[in-house]
């Protein structure tokens, strides 16, 4: 730790005396007996005045455990049913506070505060609850193994916030039935830490405890709240009936036919969330409507060898999703397309974390992986999917686990067993290992059509990851191996029959405290991917300088040299990658990347000149309007002649009436222009165009009690090889309404 003046030296000495750098501190929380607590951002209740203050006294980024330049006080209290917490965040210039009314889980570029709770005090996972100055919520699960927060987890809780002349105040209440924690009559101590994100020209992170970046365990360094007695998680029960009505009009005999009016289809579903015990939770769904309400972000799907991955957004699969995580993604819930029912049990009993999921799907959606590319297909046959996961804590912060995934259909099965380990032999060192074996049988017609093995076949996969990380250095290495017969049909594994080696070294350079920039890092490394038989797929070396500085800027360059082998030819390519993320104003941000240099034209089997570019702009107007515009371009040229230009543009505009209600309009435009004369298949269209539009009105009383009203429209057009043009014409349109209500008896 460095100090630059006597005032800061005095503050450091005070902190060292009162909090002891890197020493765990225990805070006793008090029970409140007040019968009514109003969550409004005004700390009028008497218990707030007597509650012990927990200061966020440390700046851990970019400063290295410096005294916070602004004061923030956390207070925590409880009663039989609820945990209460508040933050009072002081600010010398409240006009610079960045906050917008937005949908939940969207706090990017906002001021906000967060409370992380580890009720089991085992430093494995923690619940996170974040609030911006206007009361917008973001919740999630911090997984120590992954080192990040998964915001797909949602809880029912209340929050409020308001900006004052001195900064801002937030207030929140979490029902104990929204949490998981030990059921005991003894006094409980929970591990916790709190942070404040303070974004100005430099984004600063303020924390309730100092952070040693030489210790790869974040939760281990948290403090404790004690005095929690007489609380029970309860075997809470949530009943969530849902009703979905939709009508789709389609143009028959596109493009010449008329737009035919479809029939209204109504789907009634029923979800149950039940705490079987204080440690285990059951989620079940009957006749669910698993259609997505919000559109996926647009992705370019041209000149790709392997399947694209889209994030899961369906609530049933998001609850407890972290229980099924393994280094190799052998379970990916979006492979479950249209189930008639689903059930899931997740929880932790002492040192044992368990997860069990079962669904019956109307279709079997498959990724068929290979060494050079992957294919996808859907079989119209019911398939049953079962996933089981067990993980056992060992030592202070390590664990071992086993996992099973099985899919069964007509003349089809895929069964997979995996064992994995997460080891932390020392503070800066982590090791992750996994061994997996699968047995598969595909239906004969499908196996023949896609050149897959006939009859029963099997394969293995191995992965090993080692990371050594301190404040100034990070070194990591990866080894992966996937046999040609390995399949993970319930997961996302688009490539097999390969071995991969990767090594990277990074050095961080930190400025003098109080400098005008955050840090500079320089990394260098290399990788190689080859078939099990030793045939090269791809290899390369890179160097990557990265600068973080004013206006929350993050600017990086990545020159590399790459060797790509395709269809018996090895192509050497020297390329330049680069990117940036910058926010010059609180309501204006830009990010993007570019790639210049040669690339392989996979469709036509040759080397070509490549240019990629993406630019995204985020604009916030006042407290209620949020919009983003992004454009991505991919160009391949051969000797100065266009092979193709592929473009995706997307605009999104949201008006947030309050923290529960928003109106959003999304517009996507895809344009691909080709030169048929430079394609092996010269019958390809010269131009393909698609337009997607969605209007969505959303009201969320809480994450499970929701109302959606939406409209979706698709247009398509093209110009063929002979210049015959089909103007953009409406392909279909859909109107939908969905309502769900979470009832807690």
> Mind listing the pLDDT tens digit for each residue in 549-572?
899 899 999 999 999 999 999 999
Q: Which of 104-113, 231-240, 287-296, 666-675 has the lowest mean pLDDT?
A: 287-296
The answer to whether residues 476 and 526 belong to one domain is: no
pLDDT of residue 23: 63
Instruction: State percent of the chain over pLDDT 70.
Output: 95
Among residues 210, 228, 246, the one where a domain terminates is 228
Within a domain: residue 301? no
For residue 448, give the 3-state DSSP assignment. helix
The answer to whether residues 453 and 537 belong to one domain is: no
For residue 168, give the 3-state DSSP assignment. strand
Q: In terms of residue numbers, what domain contains 338?
A: 325-496
Count of structural domains within the chain: 3
Alpha-carbon distance of 707 to 729, in angstroms, equals 31
Among residues 476, 496, 516, the one where a domain terminates is 496
Q: Which of 80, 88, 90, 77 is nearest to 45 (CA)?
A: 77
Neighbours of 15 (CB within 10 A): 20
Average pLDDT, the chain: 90
CATH label of the domain that carries residue 196: 2.60.40.1190
733: pLDDT strictly greater than 50: yes
424: pLDDT strictly greater than 60: yes
Within a domain: residue 240? no
pLDDT of residue 277: 77
Instruction: State percent of the chain over pLDDT 90.
Output: 68
Alpha-carbon distance of 338 to 343, in angstroms, equals 14
pLDDT of residue 735: 94
The answer to whether residues 121 and 193 belong to one domain is: yes
Within a domain: residue 738? no
Neighbours of 296 (CB within 10 A): 11
pLDDT of residue 587: 86
Alpha-carbon distance of 161 to 86, in angstroms, equals 9
pLDDT category of residue 15 using cuts at 50, 70 and 90: very low
Looking at residues 453-465, what average pLDDT do you find? 96
Distant-in-sequence, close-in-space partners of 17: CB < 8 Å, separation ≥ 6: none
> Tokens at residue 39, please?
């969550």
pLDDT of residue 155: 87
The burial of 743, by beta-carbon neighbours within 10 Å (0-12 exposed, 13-18 middle, 19 or more buried), is given as exposed
pLDDT of residue 116: 97
Neighbours of 109 (CB within 10 A): 20
The answer to whether residues 517 and 631 belong to one domain is: yes
CB 247 within 8 A of CB 238: no
pLDDT category of residue 234 using cuts at 50, 70 and 90: low
Looking at residues 332-338, what average pLDDT do you find? 88
Region of residue 350 (left: phi > 0; alpha: psi -120 to 50; beta: else) = left
pLDDT category of residue 291 using cuts at 50, 70 and 90: low
Within a domain: residue 1? no
Q: Which of 563, 601, 594 is nearest to 576 (CA)?
A: 594
Alpha-carbon distance of 292 to 622, in angstroms, equals 30
Distant-in-sequence, close-in-space partners of 377: CB < 8 Å, separation ≥ 6: 366, 368, 446, 449, 450
pLDDT of residue 295: 65
Give me the residues paired with residue 164 across strands.
Answer: none
Within a domain: residue 368? yes
Q: Are strands 498-509 and 519-530 parallel, antiparallel or unpaired?
A: antiparallel
Q: Which of 400, 397, 455 is nearest to 426 (CA)?
A: 397
Alpha-carbon distance of 455 to 436, in angstroms, equals 20
pLDDT in tens, 587-628: 899 999 999 999 999 999 999 999 999 999 999 999 999 999
The answer to whether residues 445 and 510 belong to one domain is: no
Q: Are strands 280-286 and 265-275 parallel, antiparallel or unpaired?
A: antiparallel
Residue that is written with structure tokens 């949908």 in the block: 103
Torsion, Cα 143 146 149 154, to 10 degrees, reads -60
In terms of pLDDT, which residue wins out, 23 or 114? Answer: 114
- DSSP readout, 48-84? HHHSPPEE--EEEESSSSEEPSS-EEEEEEE-SSEEE
224: pLDDT strictly greater than 90: yes
CB 154 within 8 A of CB 704: yes
Q: Which of 279-283, 356-360, 619-623, 721-725 has the lowest mean pLDDT?
A: 279-283
Alpha-carbon distance of 533 to 151, in angstroms, equals 41
Q: Which of 155, 100, 537 is nearest to 320 (CA)?
A: 155
Neighbours of 107 (CB within 10 A): 21
Looking at residues 204-233, what average pLDDT do you find? 90
The burial of 478, by beta-carbon neighbours within 10 Å (0-12 exposed, 13-18 middle, 19 or more buried), is given as middle
> Tokens at residue 393, please?
């804590």
pLDDT of residue 511: 83
End-to-end Cα, the chain, rounded Å: 53
Rounded to the nearest 5 percent, the helix, strand and coil shares of the chain are 5, 55, 35
Within a domain: residue 625? yes
Alpha-carbon distance of 718 to 688, in angstroms, equals 4
The answer to whether residues 458 and 580 belong to one domain is: no
Residue 254, H or E segment: none
pLDDT of residue 514: 64
pLDDT in tens, 573-582: 999 999 999 9
> Tokens at residue 148, please?
């990040």
CB 378 within 8 A of CB 337: yes
> Tokens at residue 740, please?
């769900």
Residue that is written with structure tokens 């009203």 in the block: 709
Within a domain: residue 698? no
CB 494 within 8 A of CB 369: yes
pLDDT category of residue 233 using cuts at 50, 70 and 90: confident
The answer to whether residues 111 and 36 belong to one domain is: yes
CB 469 within 8 A of CB 459: no
Among residues 430, 461, 496, the one where a domain terminates is 496
Within a domain: residue 372? yes
pLDDT of residue 94: 94
Alpha-carbon distance of 261 to 244, in angstroms, equals 18
5: pLDDT strictly greater than 80: no
Q: Do you find a cis peptide bond into 255, omega within 30 degrees of 0?
A: yes
The answer to whether residues 381 and 428 belong to one domain is: yes
Long-range contacts of 401-407 (CB under 8 A, 24+ apart): 401/326, 401/353, 403/324, 403/326, 403/330, 403/331, 405/330, 405/331, 405/488, 405/489, 405/490, 405/491, 406/490, 407/364, 407/383, 407/489, 407/490
Looking at residues 463-481, what average pLDDT do you find? 95
315: pLDDT strictly greater than 60: yes
The answer to whether residues 356 and 481 belong to one domain is: yes
For residue 166, give the 3-state DSSP assignment. coil
Q: Which of 635, 722, 688 is nearest to 303 (CA)?
A: 635
The answer to whether residues 342 and 479 belong to one domain is: yes
Establish how many alpha carbons lie within 13 A of residue 461's alpha carbon, considering only the half-sphere containing its beta carbon.
Answer: 26
Give me the residues paired with residue 425 across strands.
Answer: none
> Tokens at residue 219, please?
């939760």
pLDDT of residue 19: 43
The burial of 293, by beta-carbon neighbours within 10 Å (0-12 exposed, 13-18 middle, 19 or more buried), is given as middle
DSSP state of 496: -
703: pLDDT strictly greater than 70: yes
Alpha-carbon distance of 617 to 682, in angstroms, equals 37
Alpha-carbon distance of 352 to 326, in angstroms, equals 16
The answer to whether residues 373 and 521 belong to one domain is: no
Alpha-carbon distance of 119 to 226, in angstroms, equals 11
The answer to whether residues 511 and 430 belong to one domain is: no
């Amino acid at each position: 730790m460095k100090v630059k003046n006597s005032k800061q030296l005095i503050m450091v000495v005070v902190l060292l005396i009162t909090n002891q750098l890197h020493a765990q501190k225990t805070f006793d929380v008090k029970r409140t007996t007040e019968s009514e607590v109003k969550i409004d951002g005004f700390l009028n209740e008497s218990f707030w005045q007597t509650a012990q203050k927990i200061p966020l006294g440390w700046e851990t980024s970019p400063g290295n455990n410096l005294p916070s330049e602004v004061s923030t006080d956390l207070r925590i209290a409880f009663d039989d049913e609820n945990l209460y917490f508040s933050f009072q965040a002081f600010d010398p210039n409240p006009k610079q506070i960045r906050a917008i009314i937005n949908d939940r889980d969207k706090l990017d570029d906002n001021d906000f505060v967060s409370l992380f709770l580890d009720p089991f005090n085992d430093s494995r996972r923690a619940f996170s609850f974040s609030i911006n100055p206007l009361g917008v919520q973001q919740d999630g699960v911090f997984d120590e193994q992954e080192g990040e927060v998964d915001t797909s987890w949602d809880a029912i809780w209340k929050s409020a916030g308001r900006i004052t002349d001195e900064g801002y105040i937030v207030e929140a209440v979490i029902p104990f039935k929204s949490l998981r924690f030990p059921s005991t009559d003894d006094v409980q101590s929970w591990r916790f830490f709190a942070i404040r994100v303070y974004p100005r020209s430099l984004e600063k992170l303020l924390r309730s405890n100092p952070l040693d970046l030489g210790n790869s365990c974040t939760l281990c360094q948290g403090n404790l709240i004690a005095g929690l007695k007489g609380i029970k998680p309860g075997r809470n029960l949530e009943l969530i009936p849902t009703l979905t009505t939709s009508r789709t009009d389609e143009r028959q005999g596109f493009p010449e036919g008329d737009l035919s009016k479809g029939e209204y289809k109504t789907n009634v579903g029923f979800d149950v969330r039940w705490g079987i015990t204080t440690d285990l939770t059951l989620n079940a769904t009957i006749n669910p409507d698993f259609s997505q309400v919000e559109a996926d972000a647009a992705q370019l799907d041209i000149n790709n060898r392997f399947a694209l991955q889209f994030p899961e957004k369906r609530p049933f699969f998001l609850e407890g999703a972290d229980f099924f995580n393994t280094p190799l993604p052998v379970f990916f819930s979006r492979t479950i397309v249209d189930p008639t029912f689903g059930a899931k049990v997740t929880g932790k009993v002492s040192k044992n974390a368990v997860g069990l999921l079962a669904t019956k799907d109307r279709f079997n959606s498959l990724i068929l992986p290979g060494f050079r590319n992957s294919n996808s297909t859907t079989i119209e046959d019911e398939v049953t999917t079962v996933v089981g996961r067990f993980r056992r804590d060992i030592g202070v912060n390590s664990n071992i686990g086993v996992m099973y995934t099985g899919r069964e259909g007509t003349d089809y099965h895929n069964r997979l067993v995996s064992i994995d380990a997460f080891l932390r032999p020392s503070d800066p060192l982590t090791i992750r290992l996994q061994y997996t074996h699968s047995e598969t049988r595909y239906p004969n017609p499908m196996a023949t059509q896609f050149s897959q093995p006939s009859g029963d076949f099997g394969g293995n996969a191995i992965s090993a990851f080692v990371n050594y990380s301190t404040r100034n250095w990070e070194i990591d290495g990866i080894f992966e191996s996937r046999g040609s017969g390995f399949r993970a049909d319930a997961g996302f594994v688009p490539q097999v029959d390969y071995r991969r080696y990767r090594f990277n070294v990074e050095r961080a350079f930190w400025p003098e405290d109080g400098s005008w920039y955050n840090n500079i890092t320089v990394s260098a490394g290399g990788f190689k991917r080859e078939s099990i038989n030793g045939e090269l797929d791809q290899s390369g070396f890179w160097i990557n300088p990265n600068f973080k500085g004013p206006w929350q800027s993050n600017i990086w360059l990545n020159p590399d040299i790459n060797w790509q082998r395709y269809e018996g030819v090895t192509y050497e390519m020297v390329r330049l990658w680069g990117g940036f993320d910058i926010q010059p104003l609180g309501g204006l941000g830009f990010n993007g990347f570019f790639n210049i240099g040669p690339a392989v034209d996979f469709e036509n089997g040759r080397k070509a000149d490549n240019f990629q570019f993406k630019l995204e702009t985020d604009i916030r107007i006042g407290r209620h309007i949020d919009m983003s515009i992004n454009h991505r371009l991919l160009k391949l040229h051969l000797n100065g002649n266009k092979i193709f230009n592929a473009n995706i543009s997307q605009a999104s505009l949201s008006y947030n009436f309050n923290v529960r209600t928003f109106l959003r309009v999304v517009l996507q435009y895809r344009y691909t222009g080709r030169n048929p004369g430079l394609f092996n298949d010269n019958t390809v269209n010269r131009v393909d165009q698609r337009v997607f539009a969605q209007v969505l009105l959303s009201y969320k009383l809480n994450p499970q009690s929701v109302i959606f009203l939406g409209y979706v429209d698709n247009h398509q057009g093209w110009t063929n090889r002979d210049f015959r043009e089909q103007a953009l014409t409406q392909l279909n349109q859909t109107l939908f309404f969905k309502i769900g209500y979470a009832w807690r008896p």
